[in-house]
Amino acid sequence: MTYIQNYFFVVIALFLSVTASCGGDKKTSKHTNLKSKEFQDKLIEANKMYVKKESDEIDQYVNHRGWKMITTGTGLRYMIVKNGTGAKAELMQLAKVNYKISLLDGTVCYTSDQNGPKEFMVGQDHVESGLHEGIQYLHVGDKAVLILPSHLAHGLLGDDSKIPPHASVIYELELLSLRK
């Protein structure tokens, strides 16, 4: 079995364990709680292993290109490739960006050339959490590259279109404007 198949097996086993434990009597609840705790521990360990593997893949990608990126505590990587002169992005501002979103294998998923610039309220609107985090490192006029690990992008499910499950995504961004 591949690593992802093992991961999904653990997730399904945990789900079945939790749902099976919902209607037991008092005598078995302690035993069931121990089994549930074991599954939770296994799920946590599987998640840690997956995050480590994905982080290593991103690091290899970055090193292969010779990029000097900053890694945040969440696992987001970013680098400014052109400095702008405008205001720094903050929460609750409407940000307008040009973008290109691609996968680590080079597949281009979305671009502002195709779809127009993206506008979103920083910290508020429904966009990737990694984009909310990363935009706050930018000033108007900045061009940057952000690499969002899957947990900061589209997670376990992908986006039901062009971004597959468990995919790290690369944002090439230009912060065009900010307004309140």
Cβ(62)–Cβ(77) below 8 Å:
yes
Tell me, what's the pLDDT at 3? 47
Q: Give 34's Cβ-side CA count (13 Å radius).
A: 4
Cβ(1)–Cβ(9) below 8 Å:
yes
pLDDT (tens digit per residue) in 35-59: 788 888 888 888 889 889 999 999 9
CATH number assigned to the domain with residue range 70-179, chosen from the 4 options 3.90.1200.10, 3.10.50.40, 3.40.50.620, 3.90.1150.10: 3.10.50.40
Give the list of residues 6+ apart from residue 138 with CB closer than 8 angstroms, or none.
80, 84, 88, 89, 144, 173, 175
Q: What is the mean pLDDT of the chain?
A: 87
Give the list of residues 6+ apart from residue 72 with CB closer than 8 angstroms, or none.
78, 133
| Predicted TM-score of the model (pTM) | 0.80
Residue 97 and residue 173: Cα distance in Å, rounded? 6
H helix or E strand, kind and range, residue 177: strand 169-179
Tell me, what's the pLDDT at 147? 98
Q: Which tops the pLDDT comparison, 16 or 173? A: 173
Q: Which tops the pLDDT comparison, 23 or 154? A: 154
How is the chain split into domains, by residue range? 3-65, 70-179
Cβ(121)–Cβ(94) below 8 Å:
yes
